[in-house]
Amino acid sequence: MRRGDFFVAALVVAAPGVVLPGCAWWSGENEERGRMCAAPVEGSEYCVSSGDGPGRAWLQAAANGSRPIEMWAEPPEGMTLDTLTSSPAEMEKWLGDIDETLGYVREMQRCAESYRASMAGRVRERLVSARIGQNQFLEQTPVDAVGLFEAALVSKANAEKEPLVAEIAADKLSMGAVQAVLDQVTLEVGPLSAAYATLVADFEAYRGTEPAESEAYTKFAADASKAALVELDGIEQSLLKTAQGASAAPQEMVLRAMKLSAEVAQFEVSSQEALAPHADFMTAHDAPNPDMTSSAQRSIHAMLGYVERRIRRSDRAAISLLFGITMRRQALQLLGESEAVRAQVVEAKVTKAEATFHESAEAQVLAFEKAPPLGVKLSIPYLAKRYDEVTAFLQMRPLCELPSTSWREKGCAAMRPHFKAAATYRATTLPGLVQTGITTMKAQGVGGVLLDAASAKLAAGDVKGAAVLHDAALRGAEGT
C-alpha cells in the first residue's frame, strides 16, 4: 500500500497520541494496539482495533449511516501527545495505521467524497495538534551541546599545546565519562545525519518536478477543451492517473520526514540527559551550548509544509479538470439529441438540482441549530468543526439574500431566516465560547502552551485557529 495520503489535508508533522471518547462501537480487544475509526455523515463513530483492519470500521459506519464516511486512525488508548511525538516506534505504528486507513478508502472503496472527508477531518486536525506539540516539546527541552563540544575537544586535542589537553589528562575520570557520552552520541548522530541528507536530496528532486506537473495539467485542459466525445474517456483516465501519482509520489518521503523528526526530538532529550552530569566539566572547559537540532527540525517542517500545499494545488487542479470534462461530455451528448429531448433533460436537471439544493439547505440549518459536542470530563464544547459549519452556512448568504425565481429559491427560503443569527454567532458567540473554554481549562491546570497559543490567535482575530488549538488542548485534557 502506498504510504500516507494524509498530507493533503494536513501536512503537518504528527498527530496527537490519543483516542476519541464516545465511539458508537468499539472492540476492546488488543488494547495495546491503536484504533481505526470511521464516521458516517450522521456523526456516530465506529472504532476497531488496528489489528482488525479498516474494513471492519467502514462496514460498521456504512451499516449505520450514509456517505461520505470519514476515516482516521488513533494511537493506543491512554497514550499522551508527548509519548507519541517523542517515540519513533509509536510514531511509526500510528503513521502506518493512518496509511492503511486512508489507503483503504482510496484503493478499496474508491469513494472520492469519503477520501476528501477523511483528509480534511480528524487526520488533519490531529496532525496540526501534534506538530504544535512537537514544537512545544523541543522548546521546553534544553538545547543539545554535543556537536560543538565534541568539535571543541577534537580541535583542542589536535593542537597539543592547548591547555585543555593537560586539563583533560589530569582528570581521567571525567574525561573517560565524557568520552563515553561522546562515543555514544557519535553512534546516534551518524544515522540521523545520513537520513537527513537523504531526505534533503529526495526533497530537492521532488521539488524539481513541479514545473512538469503543472505543465501536464495545462496540457490536459487544452486537450479536453477541444476533444471529441470519444476522446474524453482517455483524457479522463490519464488525468486520474496523473493526479493519483502526484498525491502518492511524496508520501514515502513524508513518512520518513515525520519519523526522522520524532527521532531527532528523542535524540535531543537522550543526549541532554547523558550530558547533564558533566555540565560543570563542560563549563570549566569553555564548551558552549550549540543549537544542534532546531534548524533541522525547521527544515523538515518546511519540507512537509511545501508537500502539503503542492498536493492541495494538484488536487484542486485535477478536480476542476474532471468537472470540466464531465460537463463537456454531457454537453456533447446533449447536442446529438433532438430539441424535445434537450428540453426534457434540462427540466429534469433543474428539478433534481432544486431537490438536492433544498435537501442540502435543510441539512445546513439543522447543523447550525444543533449544539456542538461536549467533552465528557470538563463539559466544554468542541468548536473547530462548529466554526466550519457556521462559515459554510454563511457562505450561502450572498446567493440567497433576496427572493428569486431560481431553482435555488426553495432551499434559500429555508436558510434565509437563519443568516442573521449565524453571523452573530460566528462574530460574537463563538469567540466567547473559545475564550470561556480557554479560561476554564487554564483554571483546571491543563492545556499549557496550546492554550497560550489559542489566546494569541483569538486576540489576533483568528477565531478558527484559536478554535483548533482550543480543541487540541481539550482533547488532551479529556485524554482522548
Q: Taking every pair of C-alpha atoms in the chain, what is the biggest distance, in angstroms?
A: 103
Closest CA to 114 of 71, 163, 153, 152: 71
User: What does DSSP assign to residue 417?
Assistant: G
How many angstroms separate the Cα of 5 from the Cα of each of 58, 100, 307, 391? 17, 9, 11, 26
pLDDT score recorded for residue 421: 95
pLDDT score recorded for residue 251: 86
Which residues, in sequence order, are CB contacts of 56 under 8 Å at separation 6+?
Answer: 36, 48
Per-residue DSSP letters for 24-84?
SEE--S-TTS-EEEEE-TT---EEEEGGG-HHHHHHHHHHHS-SSPEEEEE-STT--HHHH
pLDDT score recorded for residue 12: 32
pLDDT score recorded for residue 172: 45
pLDDT score recorded for residue 425: 96
Q: Whose grid coordinates read 534544553?
A: 142
Closest CA to 182 of 84, 281, 53, 77: 281
pLDDT score recorded for residue 277: 53
pLDDT score recorded for residue 267: 66
| Half-sphere exposure (Cβ direction) of 81: Cα atoms closer than 13 Å | 29
Give per-10-residue mean pLDDT for the chain (480 aa).
36 34 40 85 88 91 90 87 76 83 84 79 76 64 44 47 46 48 54 82 92 93 92 92 88 86 73 57 52 75 90 92 91 84 85 92 92 92 94 91 84 94 95 95 89 94 94 89
Give the C-alpha separation, 408 to 419, whole Å. 16
Rounded to 5 degrees, φ, ψ at 66 are -120, 165
- The pTM assigned to this predicted structure is 0.41
**What domains, with CATH codes, occur in the chain?**
7-138 (no CATH), 143-334 (1.20.58), 339-478 (no CATH)
Instruction: Say if residues 313 and 252 touch (Cβ distance below 8 Å).
Output: no
Neighbours of 325 (CB within 10 A): 21
Give the C-alpha separation, 465 to 121, whole Å. 15
Indicate the burial class of 388 (C-beta count within 10 angstroms; 0-12, 13-18, 19 or more).
middle
What are the cell numbers at 264?
Answer: 531527532
pLDDT score recorded for residue 291: 55
pLDDT score recorded for residue 109: 85
pLDDT score recorded for residue 154: 47
pLDDT score recorded for residue 138: 59
User: What does DSSP assign to residue 144?
Assistant: P
Indicate the burial class of 148 (C-beta count within 10 angstroms; 0-12, 13-18, 19 or more).
middle
pLDDT score recorded for residue 473: 92
